[in-house]
Structure 1
Amino acid sequence: MKIAIYGTVGAGKTTLINYLKQNLPNSYKVFWEPITNNPYFEDSYSLDLELAKAATYKSEIYMLSARYQQFKESLKYENVIYDRGIMDTITFVHCNYDNQRINEVDWNVYSDYFENCVVPSIANNLQNTNGYDLVIYLKVTPETSIKRIVNRGIERELKVDKEFWKLLVKKYDYWYEKLKDKLPFLLIDGNIENPEIYVNKILKLIKKIAK
């Protein structure tokens, strides 16, 4: 069973994963977002726009490669939870393109590759049985996202213009609509502050799919 958590910054992904870990068998392994070793990550958040522009596309290519490596490694485990999946990469790239941190040529190359090569490799169907079994979209409003970003106080996130976070929420909604017929999405209202309200719904669906 391969479960990916899809959602913007501040959607509640880590909280949900911790709830799932407590309620699912110990056989489930969590793969956390592979940002630690990204050599371009800090520069891509820089207030120096030219430095950020130079680093952003490289950072996104790194993240796509890292998530693919992570996905490949995860195939040896029967039960996996992903803190963000491969499909999250296009959401950030699209947001950075609209935010003029990625140019049009790079965006066109990336988006073409994503739709023609990446999506078929992560969709679970008769041709590919290694794709995600469930993608949980924690949908939140821009207000919820920004409030949680401010409350948790991570410095690099606080430096980012709030308009970026608002745009990112819109891009998550856009790609959910674009991919919902290709990937097994479950839409959850992430604005709810108590995850216990929707965790039972998720657990029931996981058990149903796993049968």
Structure 2
Amino acid sequence: MRIAIFGTTGAGKTTLLENLKKLLDKKYVFVNETSLDCPYFNKAYDDSNSDVQDYNYKLDLWMLTDRMKTFIKYKNHQNVIYDRSILDSMVFSQTDHMYNRLDDRDYNVFKDYFLTCILPNIFDCQTNNKIFDIVIYLKVEPHKAIRRINKRSRDVELDTNDLFWLNLTKAYEFWYDIYKEVIPFWVIDANVDDPSYIANMIANKIKDVDNKID
């Protein structure tokens, strides 16, 4: 199957991906997120930067392009799991806008482009042309996610105000409500502090579907 992991920072996406590598058949390709490779990342997340809105617009465009390149690279793989995907780009752009890291003009341009050129290619109800068979939504309470962010102590995340993470969680829920109309989701309670339990549960669900397909 073609699977994307969806959820706010601190939900446990990367941990889930690493655990699934140990639990699933070797036929699966696992694709890690590449956001830290972005040349705009540090300046876009520096609230003291006077050009923070400009850098965030560039960051959002870079991330969308990078995720599309990744999709194209693996589009012929029948069994692939993504740690974040094209779906996350609109979530982060909206959060940047809510947090005043992106002005109205740039946000609306980005949103119009995404809804006009990207989303229709993700799923077409008439042709059943979709890029994901399942999207796994790791749903977590915002304050739980923030505690996990603080615990892992990544400098760029620790320097980010909690309001950004609260807005990010809201944006994930907002876009989930939109995406679920055209893309099949598994919603997983990620508040459980037992990543092995979550990974085993999801791996078993994936194996069940794979067995039915085979």
- TM-score over 0.5 for the pair: yes
Find the aligned partners of 1:102 and 1:171 in 2 and give their Cα distance: 14
1:159 aligns with 2:159: yes
Q: Which amino acid aligns with 2:188?
A: I
Find the aligned partners of 1:209 and 1:105 in 2 and give their Cα distance: 43
Q: Deviations over 1:184-203 (max 9, x none)?
A: 11101111111333334423
* Count of aligned pairs between the two proteins: 211
Q: Which amino acid aligns with 2:93?
A: V
Find the aligned partners of 1:193 and 1:150 in 2 and give their Cα distance: 15
The alpha carbon displacement at 1:128 in A equals 5.2
TM-score when normalising by structure 1:
0.93
Partner of 1:5: 5
Q: Give the 5 Å matches for 1:134-153.
A: 134-153=134-153
Partner of 1:193: 193
Mind listing any 5+ residue stretches in structure 1 that lack a counterpart?
none
What SS class does the counterpart of residue 136 from structure 1 fall into? strand
Say whether the 8 Å CA contact 1:3–1:132 is kept in structure 2.
Answer: yes
Higher alpha-carbon deviation: 102-111 or 82-91: 102-111
Find the aligned partners of 2:208 and 2:122 in 1 and give their Cα distance: 21
Say whether the 8 Å CA contact 1:141–1:191 is kept in structure 2.
Answer: yes
Say whether the 8 Å CA contact 2:67–2:86 is kept in structure 1.
Answer: yes
Find the aligned partners of 2:138 and 2:90 in 1 and give their Cα distance: 17
The alpha carbon displacement at 1:135 in A equals 0.4
Higher alpha-carbon deviation: 58-67 or 38-47: 38-47
The alpha carbon displacement at 1:114 in A equals 1.4
Say whether the 8 Å CA contact 2:33–2:84 is kept in structure 1.
Answer: yes
Find the aligned partners of 2:55 and 2:24 in 1 and give their Cα distance: 39
Distance 1:37 1:197, change over 3 A: closer
Find the aligned partners of 1:38 and 1:177 in 2 and give their Cα distance: 28
Partner of 2:116: 116
1:23 aligns with 2:20: no
Distance 1:128 1:42, change over 3 A: farther
Higher alpha-carbon deviation: 5-14 or 200-209: 200-209
Partner of 1:41: 41
The alpha carbon displacement at 1:130 in A equals 5.2
TM-score when normalising by structure 2:
0.92
The alpha carbon displacement at 1:38 in A equals 1.1
Find the aligned partners of 1:94 and 1:62 in 2 and give their Cα distance: 15
Mind listing any 5+ residue stretches in structure 2 that lack a counterpart?
none
Find the aligned partners of 2:208 and 2:103 in 1 and give their Cα distance: 44
**Aligned Cα root-mean-square deviation (Å):** 1.7
Q: Which amino acid aligns with 1:71?
A: F
Q: Which amino acid aligns with 2:112?
A: D
The alpha carbon displacement at 1:144 in A equals 0.8
What SS class does the counterpart of residue 50 from structure 1 fall into? coil
Higher alpha-carbon deviation: 182-191 or 35-44: 35-44
Say whether the 8 Å CA contact 1:5–1:84 is kept in structure 2.
Answer: yes
Find the aligned partners of 1:209 and 1:124 in 2 and give their Cα distance: 22
